[in-house]
Amino acid sequence: MSLKIDSAFIQAAEHRPKPTISDAGAGTIPLIDLSPLLHHQIPSDPSDPAIADEISSLIASIGAACRDWGFFQVVNHGVDPQLLDRIQAAVVEFFALPAEEKRKVKRDEVNALGYYDSENTKNVRDWKEVLDLVIREYDDGLLLLKNRWPEYPPAMRKTCEEYIANVEKLSYKLVELISLSLNLPAKRFNGFFKDSSSYFRLNYYNPCPTPDLVLGVGRHKDSEALTVLYQDQVGGLDVKRKSDGEWIRVKPTPNSYIINVGDIIQVWTNEKYESVEHRVSVNSEKARLSIPFFFFPTFSTNVKPLEELVTDENPAKYEEYNWRDYFSSLLGSNFKKMDKENIQISDFKKTTI
């Protein structure tokens, strides 16, 4: 498929990529080895005197990465590399289908799940094709989320469902380690994700003849708790470094995942860990594939700073908000211009503390 450059892309010129800093040395996001989890259980309590030294070091590394970067990469994460190969092959085969075949599962204003690209959806200025799915379908009479599984390739649904189960398992491990890094019980966050509303997205970025005019995805922060991203070896993800605001290109690491803290964890931790801006730059010669898993809480969750992390010296920085209502408002802006800007967690930031 060949996407066209139009005025919507040109209007995004303010977000054109700047030259990135070298991804060597101190410039790169932390790379964390999860292999200690292959030999040790995640402890239930951070004060457990029996915690192995390598687990303590792992918890400390994740805490530092969340605090200093909001991003990190993980290797030896337990997801079978052969499964990564299979999911990538299925995704490439789907996006190689003719446009009329892909649009049989196109999303619409009634059901936001399915296929879309930059040509046939309002307010989408990003240079990419997408297939959105959820791990649990949802319908409360007002919000409908029903998966549109493509007929081709035939094995795609089974492969995706196997992949989702594995990445959800990894996501729980990561939030448990993050909880321990905050000196909280490992499962402090787990209850928020029972019957979670998590999203699974397949992104395909076609080669772009004028990459200086567009982005694969414009600069943004993620609204969920955690993103677990697999990307191929083409690369293109840029992260805004907290220490100086420079854009850093994330170097692809084979069989790794890129993890980033989302807005919900920023609120839960009362800004001890912050969601960080990132974007995707397109390539003029090569297509790029990425598969993010957005770890969302259950829709009934009311998001607010955790009581354990609020003190007289560090009072709550956010008002409570409902995740279902917040998520629904984000979806609404995909198809029509809203009367106001997209809702953001900054709308819930307390003005006086």
* Domains of the chain, each with CATH number or no CATH: 21-348 (2.60.120.330)
Predicted local distance difference test score (pLDDT) of residue 212: 65
Please spell the DSSP secondary structure of 10-71, one letter per residue: HGGGGGPPPPPBPSSGGGSPPEEE-GGGGTSPPPS-TT-TT--HHHHHHHHHHHHHHHHTSE
Predicted local distance difference test score (pLDDT) of residue 14: 43
Please state, in angstroms and rounded to a whole number, the distance separating the CA atoms of residues 317 and 352.
Answer: 9
Classified as helix, coil or strand, 353 is: coil
292 contacts: CB under 8 Å, gap ≥ 6 = 201, 203, 227, 228, 229, 230
Angstrom distances, CA of residue 174 to CA of 72, 226, 228, 255: 11, 9, 9, 17
Please state, in angstroms and rounded to a whole number, the distance separating the CA atoms of residues 68 and 23.
Answer: 16
Interval 220-276: pLDDT, tens: 899 999 999 999 999 889 999 999 999 999 999 999 999 999 999 999 999 999 999
Classified as helix, coil or strand, 190 is: helix
Q: Which of 3-7, 90-94, 135-139, 315-319 has the lowest mean pLDDT?
A: 3-7
Predicted local distance difference test score (pLDDT) of residue 199: 94
The single residue listed with the structure tokens 């354990």 is 308
- Using pLDDT thresholds of 50, 70 and 90, give the confidence band for residue 101: very high
Please state, in angstroms and rounded to a whole number, the distance separating the CA atoms of residues 81 and 292.
Answer: 16
Angstrom distances, CA of residue 250 to CA of 16, 97, 198, 230: 17, 29, 24, 12
| 306, burial (CB in 10 Å: exposed 0-12, middle 13-18, buried 19+) | middle
Rounded mean pLDDT of 53-66?
Answer: 97
Predicted local distance difference test score (pLDDT) of residue 332: 66
- Check pLDDT > 50 for residue 172: yes
Closest CA to 135 of 226, 196, 193: 196
CB atoms within 10 A of CB 86: 18
Report residue 324 as tokens.
């279902």
Classified as helix, coil or strand, 237 is: strand
Q: Whole-model pTM?
A: 0.89
Predicted local distance difference test score (pLDDT) of residue 118: 72
Q: What are phi and psi of 215, to 5 degrees?
A: -130, 155
- Using pLDDT thresholds of 50, 70 and 90, give the confidence band for residue 170: very high
Classified as helix, coil or strand, 342 is: coil
